[in-house]
């Protein structure tokens, strides 16, 4: 019996050790190279920043504080003419990213080479019919100097700006702050090396842009909130009509409550799931529809990039040939967001859960559009009903503070220091567009945070509102 007990104890030890083995190590290595390739490529060719600044500011997101040098970084090869970045050429997991017109940088599959570049998607964007450089805000970039309105406390606004830029930790790096009040820019500040034209990655603020585009299609009866998603699930099964995933509605995925297996949480965000589409050349559409149902749709909140991408795939399926032009013709061009690039995967599917590059002013235009209840220059582009839905707490968050609507973040129940009507976009590294209707206010904060991050959007709202106490 004693020998059996020893054997069982040994088996349990072996089992415990096996559970510690990282079966995603190869994925993590590939994704790590892909992160460096995509961020370097976009930093150079989309943001137009010097290599030293890209290494210092962009790559420390995944590698911690980096010196202003390539020393200690992975093998990075840059082709300026081809606008291509190759990382890890001498490793088992090389990653290529290439700039494409109208898209930004597309990451390629590990087995693709430079010979495959010409087959990657492009999405050329028509130039505006006017010159933004000579056109007044908000359609253009001419902002005439004017004194602050008397109801704005200039000292308090300056203090809020300093609070935003002068952080107690080096891991919170503010690169821009823009405040719009009553439709006018009343404060605009940039860190050294950045200006009004600098495009940086929105990360998950892109999800809110996706929600507006999808709302336009719901308004036009192209999509329905409560009908099954118009997609084919993977893996395909012979009797697809009995697939329980057919019960998932557009409403569920927009509220991060699909009930599908989590793949972007529980320490797997850079090992599997959407990470393979973002950074390793996998299909964002196929990955999104290949998860199994593990909970009742609508019942459990789980923040998953693939939930957003399921909604984007539904958008593609109803738009057909208009898919690539729809965002620009229906939203970006009408709002004057001419600096905004919506990136795709190598299959031409928008990765509207994260990969959008834009500047602070374009995001301010987007926020102003939301503040104006979907109306721009006197024309309604989005219904009030849709925005009300987007700002209504998802039922799955009721027991956790009602902090999330439909691809927008809401003031949680435990905050009483900011107006209840405020809502926000939010993206990794501190990308925020905050809308406060009761104060006719839009706040845009862009960041290059890293490490533990932790910049709080509602604390920022509180500080800025101190300047509008008499509003």
Share of the chain above pLDDT 90, in %: 85
- pLDDT value of residue 69: 43
Q: What is the mean pLDDT of residues 35-56?
A: 96
Q: How many CB atoms lie within 10 A of CB 443?
A: 27
Residues 6 or more apart from 181 whose CB is under 8 A from it?
A: 149, 152, 439, 440, 441, 442, 468, 471
Lowest model confidence (mean pLDDT) among 18-22, 30-34, 342-346, 446-450: 18-22
Q: What is the mean pLDDT of residues 233-257?
A: 92
Structural element, H or E, at residue 469: none
Question: In the predicted model, what is the mean pLDDT of residues 442-453?
Answer: 94
Q: What are phi and psi of 390, to 5 degrees?
A: -60, -30
Reported as a pLDDT band with limits 50, 70 and 90, residue 315 is: very high
Q: How far apart are CA 270 and CA 258, in angstroms?
A: 21
Token code pair at residue 305: 């990039």
Q: For 374-456, where are the alpha helices, taking DSSP H only?
A: 384-390
Domains assigned to the chain: 25-118 (no CATH), 200-468 (3.40.710.10)
* Distance (Å, whole) CA 352 – CA 128: 23
d(CA 433, CA 442): 7
Query: pLDDT at position 275, please?
Result: 94
Residue 233 pLDDT > 50? yes
- Give 37's Cβ-side CA count (13 Å radius): 33
| pLDDT average, residue stretch 339-358 | 98
Instruction: Give dist(CA 87, CA 153) in Å, integer.
Output: 49
What is the pLDDT at residue 209?
Answer: 98
CA distance 176 to 157: 14
Q: Which of 23-37, 213-227, 327-341, 396-410 has the lowest mean pLDDT?
A: 23-37
**What is the C-alpha separation between 93 and 322, in angstroms, rounded?**
36
3-state secondary structure of 442: strand
Condensed to tens digits (0 to 9), the pLDDT of residues 359-377 reads: 999 999 999 999 999 999 9
pLDDT of residue 66: 40
Task: Render 93-147 in DSSP notation, one character per residue.
Answer: S-EEEEEETTTEEEEPPTT--GGGGGGS-----PPPSS-GGGSBTTTSSB----P
Q: Which two tokens stand for residue 464?
A: 């800025």
Provide the pLDDT for residue 64. Answer: 45
The pLDDT mean for the chain works out to 93
Contact 219, 386 (CB under 8 A): yes
Helix extents (H) in 20-109: 25-45, 51-53, 60-63
For position 75, what pLDDT does the model report?
A: 83
d(CA 442, CA 182): 9
pLDDT digits (tens, 9 = 90+) for 246-273: 999 999 999 999 999 999 987 778 889 9
Stated length of the chain: 471
CA-closest candidate to residue 160, choices 178, 144, 148, 181 = 178
Cross-strand bridge partners of residue 106: 98
pLDDT tens digits for 48-100? 999 999 998 998 877 644 444 454 555 899 999 999 999 999 899 999 999 99
**Least confident among 9-13, 248-252, 333-337, 348-352:** 9-13
State yes or no: pLDDT of 416 exceeds 50.
Answer: yes
Predicted TM-score (pTM) of the model is: 0.94
Beta-ladder partners of 376: 379
pLDDT in tens, 142-189: 999 999 999 999 999 999 999 999 999 999 999 999 999 999 999 999
Identify whether the C-beta of residue 126 lies closer than 8 Å to the C-beta of residue 327: no
Nearest-10 Cα torsion for 383, 389, 391, 397: -170
What distances in angstroms separate CA 184 from CA 90, 160, 200, 364, one per listed residue? 52, 18, 23, 10
Provide the pLDDT for residue 17.
52
Confidence of residue 452 (pLDDT cuts 50, 70, 90): confident
Task: Of 404, 411, 425, give the one whose Cα is nearest residue 257.
Answer: 404
Cα 10 vs. chain centroid, distance in angstroms? 47
pLDDT one-digit tens code per residue, 376-385:
999 999 999 9
- Look at residues 424, 466, 410 and name the one whose alpha carbon lies nearest to residue 207: 424
């Amino acid at each position: 019996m004693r020998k059996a007990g020893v054997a069982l104890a040994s088996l349990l030890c072996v089992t415990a050790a096996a559970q510690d083995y990282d079966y995603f190590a190869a994925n993590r290595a590939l994704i790590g190279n892909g992160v460096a390739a995509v961020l370097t490529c976009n930093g150079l060719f989309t943001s137009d920043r010097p290599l030293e600044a890209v290494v210092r500011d962009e790559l420390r997101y995944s590698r911690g504080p980096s010196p202003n040098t390539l020393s200690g970084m992975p093998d990075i090869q840059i082709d300026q003419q081809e606008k291509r970045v190759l990382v890890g050429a001498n490793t088992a997991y090389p990653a290529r990213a290439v700039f494409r017109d109208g898209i930004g940088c597309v990451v390629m599959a590990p087995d693709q080479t430079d010979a495959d570049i010409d087959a990657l998607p492009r999405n050329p964007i028509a130039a505006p019919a006017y010159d933004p450089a000579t056109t007044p805000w908000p359609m253009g970039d001419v902002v005439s100097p004017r004194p602050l309105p008397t109801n704005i406390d200039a000292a308090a606004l300056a203090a809020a700006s300093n609070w935003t830029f002068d952080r107690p930790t080096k891991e919170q790096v503010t690169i821009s702050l823009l405040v719009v009040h009553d439709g006018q820019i009343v404060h605009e500040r940039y860190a050294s090396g950045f200006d009004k034209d600098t495009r940086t990655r929105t990360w998950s603020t892109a999800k809110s842009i996706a929600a507006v585009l999808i709302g336009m299609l719901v308004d036009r009866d192209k999509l329905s909130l409560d009908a099954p998603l118009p997609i084919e699930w993977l893996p395909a099964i012979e009797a697809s009509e009995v697939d329980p995933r057919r019960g998932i509605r557009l409403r569920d995925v927009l509220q991060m409550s699909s009930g599908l297996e989590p793949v972007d949480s529980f320490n797997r965000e850079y090992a599997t799931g959407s990470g393979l589409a973002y950074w390793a050349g996998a299909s964002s559409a196929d990955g999104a529809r290949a998860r199994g149902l593990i909970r009742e749709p609508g019942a459990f909140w789980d923040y998953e990039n693939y939930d957003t991408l399921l909604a984007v795939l539904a958008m593609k399926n109803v738009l057909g040939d208009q898919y690539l032009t729809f965002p620009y013709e229906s939203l970006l061009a009408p709002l004057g967001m001419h600096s905004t690039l919506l990136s795709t995967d190598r299959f031409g599917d928008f990765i509207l859960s994260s990969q959008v590059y834009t500047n602070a002013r374009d995001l301010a235009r987007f926020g102003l559009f939301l503040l104006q209840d979907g109306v721009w220059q006197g024309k309604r582009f989005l219904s009030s009903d849709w925005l009300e839905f987007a700002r209504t707490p998802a039922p799955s968050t009721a027991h956790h503070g009602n902090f999330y609507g439909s691809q927008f973040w809401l003031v949680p129940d435990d905050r009483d220091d900011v107006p209840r009507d405020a809502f926000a976009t939010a993206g990794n590294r501190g990308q925020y567009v905050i809308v406060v209707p009761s104060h006719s206010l839009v706040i845009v904060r862009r960041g290059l945070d890293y490490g533990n991050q932790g910049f709080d959007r509602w604390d920022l709202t509180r500080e800025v509102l101190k300047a509008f106490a008499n509003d």
